[in-house]
Amino acid sequence: MFKGEPIRKGECGMLRGRNGRLAGLCLLLLVAVPTSAFARSISLRDAGIGLWIFIIIGAVIVLLQLIPAAILFFSFIGTSSGIVFRGKQEGKVANEEKAVLPGIEPAPVKK
């Protein structure tokens, strides 16, 4: 089967079988390869100062990401609870939300 050629009726089953075998092979590789990598025990006794600096910098970076995450989280909670508890006002603007600009008056329209 070449690119651009339509798939014939009998070829769909063959493609399904090929995709299933490929998925099984990928799953087998995902399970089998990491087990050999983690087979030995890990000892941090002989680790140098570079590893500890790397871990500390990584922890600081992860903790710094919590600041914007907390801001977004609490603003989302505030917005959604404001909508739920205040209720929809069907196109009306609440008194505290009206903007008043001083010195601007509506211009009269002549017909």
Mean pLDDT for the stretch of residues 85-103: 61
Mean pLDDT for the stretch of residues 59-76: 94
Q: Shortest CA distance to 94 belongs to which of 83, 80, 105?
A: 83
Residues 6+ apart with CB under 8 A from 28: none
- Domain residue ranges of the chain, discontinuous segments joined by +: 1-40, 43-83
Higher per-residue confidence, 47 vs 58: 58
Residue 63: is its pLDDT beyond 90?
A: yes
Mean pLDDT for the stretch of residues 90-108: 63
Residues 6+ apart with CB under 8 A from 62: none
User: pLDDT by residue (tens digit) across 13-32?
Assistant: 555 667 888 888 888 888 87
Least confident of 45-49, 54-58, 59-63, 92-96: 92-96
